[in-house]
Amino acid sequence: MFKTAIVLAVAAIPEGMSIVATLALAYGMLRLAERKVLVKRLAAVETLGGTDVIFTDKTGTLTQNQMAVHTIWLPEGRVEVKPDAAEIEPALLSSDTFQKLLRVAALCNNATYSHTDPDTALGDPLEVALLTFAHTSRFDVPGAHATANRLAEQPFNSDTRLMATVHEHPDGQVWVAVKGAAEEVLRSCTYLEMPPSGPQPLSAEQRAQYLLHAEELARSGLRTLGFAYRLLPDEHQSDWTNELVWLGIVAFLDPPRPEVIPALASCQQAGIRVIMVTGDHPATALTVAHQVGLTTDKEAIAITGAELPSLFSDPDGEGGRLAHTAVFARVSPAQKLDLISLYQQHGHIVAMTGDGVNDAPALKKADIGVAMGLRGTQVASEAAALVLRDDSFASIVAAVEQGRIIFTNIRRFVLYLVSCNLSEILVVTAAGLLGAGLGLLPLQILFLNLLTDVFPALALGVGKGSSRVMQHPPRDPQGPIMRPGDWRLAVAYAALMTVVLLGSYYIARQYYGVAEEVGNNLLFYGLAGAQLLHVFNMAGIATPLRHNDVLRNRYVWLALALCTGLLLLTYFLPLLRNLLGIQPLSTSLLVLILAPAVLVLVLGQLLGWLLHRGQNAEKLRRQPAAQP
């Protein structure tokens, strides 16, 4: 009984589980690195598999972040810029308003650009596009900077949504250059640049007309900026952004990424909800959302940051509008944080993309923070769990897919280890109850555990997974690794192996007349073979053997070859033979070793088929009867 207790204790412990789990997660990190996704925390790989909501930015994630000036709307009228920007209309070049707008674009700008080497441009893509357009328009950008000493700057932020710089010219004139969201800049404007007479009072009708112009451009999927300037009577005046002179609107084209459309379709098929959260104009955001297939509802309306406070106070109000909206525009980083909290409170696993310093709290709060590696700040990268090296939304989807595969692999090898270890316990217990001796020796079980708990389980842990993994809804984040059905399946597999092996043992003793020691060896090798072939039953009960992705896993075959070699050493190497108590076996007994292994595979497939049919029948039974 003491020996039996030791054997059962050894059999019950899955020695390789922690090793296999760690290596499976680490291998997943390597695969994600190949897909341009850097994982900073090992546990994040598994969490990805349960993600069911993704908050994504628009610019650079759903779009290419390759800004180019597309349209200019001045008081003189609307002018469309050709895609190659090779020719600028002479009338536009001679416009004093246009030259002032180029001056604002050049001075209220922190990017660097050289027309002789455009690839060396540094800074925000939108500001680089402005400098590129200014050079194309033959505006002397270096000369403007040389003659306008920058005295102060008001950086762009999500609250004011505009940027302002103050400059002093050689003649002592102090000039303010302002650019930002058209509605915000217009709100600060008192005058309108009207050539040739100069600034004239800006009427309410004119203000409304320019807001309509901005809306029209945004509905075309263009990103808009308003431009204004002001002459300061006193360089020490603290309030720069009032009584501005309106110059016009510049609209930028940022084409959607072509790989985003299939990536979003994959998310929808996988039951993952994707929500755009951007600081851009609502019409621009909705147009891009329609272009990439984020929403197909032509009547969809974006929720703006100004509406969020009232909606947060009553999330279920207005028919649950907050929970069903796919586009949020003019949203601040603080409001992103509130949105994450709201969805987490409803039990969702949330992934969040971000690139700025102000996004760091939201990236930290999200279950999976995703930082942009190309345009993102160091602060955002430090706060995130994942860093995208290509800033592409498709990489996020690839990461979620890999996370699902890793979790599936973990569930597979846990099921495999539990069923194998349980079979060892049942074999030893049944052998003792039936008076068949000890069944298996402690060292034999320890050897089997080291063999099957490590190599085949590790091969399952690093499998490439099924191509259909994104065709299923996300798993329950609160659910255990082993579901009740998995436990029942593990018991069924263990019982199957036990019955087959004890049947083989009975035949050997009764019909072949082998000694108890030889019968022990047959159990040892038979159980080893059964556990090794049992690995092919881990693809799932709904997967037939011919479509088994475990069968296509080269690491499984390498593991089987290695384990087979080690088992042969236990027979032919005297040291291992003596250690494990192996006796010489006749070739006629080989069938009693191979038959249990093959039977476990065949009967395991049959068991899976029967269980799958039973599940389908239960689903059909639960469906409501069709109405006549």
- Chain-centroid distance, C-alpha 397: 5
**Pairwise CA distance, residues 308 & 583, whole Å:** 77
CB 245 within 8 A of CB 23: no
Question: What is the CB neighbour count within 10 angstroms for residue 403?
Answer: 26
> Quick one: tokens of 315?
């999330």
Beta carbons of 383 and 9 less than 8 angstroms apart: no
Say how far apart CA 626 and CA 63 lie, in whole Å: 45
Q: How many whole angstroms separate alpha carbon 183 and alpha carbon 327? A: 19
State how far the Cα of 363 lies from the Cα of 340, in Å rounded to an integer.
9
Instruction: Report the amino acid identity of residue 555.
Output: Y
CB-CB contact of 246 with 185 (8 Å): yes
**What is the rounded CA–CA span in Å between residue 517 and residue 369?**
59
The C-alpha atoms of residue 49 and residue 87 are separated, in whole angstroms, by 51
Question: Which residue is listed with tokens 């080497």?
Answer: 117
Helix residue spans in 240-294 (DSSP H): 260-269, 282-292
**How far, in Å, are 482, 497, 533, 539, 595 from residue 601 at the CA level?**
22, 10, 6, 12, 10
Separation CA 130–CA 106 (nearest Å): 7
CB-based contact 496:596 (threshold 8 Å): no
- The residue behind tokens 């084209």 is 253
What is the residue-wise DSSP string for 356-402?
SGGGHHHHHHSSEEEEETTT--HHHHHH-SEEESS--HHHHHHHHHH
Cβ–Cβ under 8 Å, residues 286 and 255: no
Measured distance CA(449)–CA(8) in Å, rounded: 12
Extract the tokens encoding 485: 């059905």
Q: Which helix (H) or strand (E) holds 53?
A: strand 53-56
Type of residue at 606: L
- In angstroms, rounded to a whole number, what is the distance separating the alpha carbons of residues 53 and 50? 9
* Residue whose structure tokens are 């990236």: 363
- What's the start-to-end Cα distance of the chain, in Å? 67
Contact indicator for 517, 585 with CB cutoff of 8 Å: no
Active site residues: 57
In whole angstroms, what is the distance from residue 322 CA to residue 313 CA? 11
How large is the angle between the packed helices 484-510 and 516-533, nearest 10 degrees?
150
Number of neighbouring beta carbons within 10 Å of residue 96: 12
DSSP annotation string for 17-45: HHHHHHHHHHHHHHHHHHTTEEES-HHHH
Decide if 446 contacts 424 (C-beta within 8 A): no
Structure tokens at 73: 């709307």
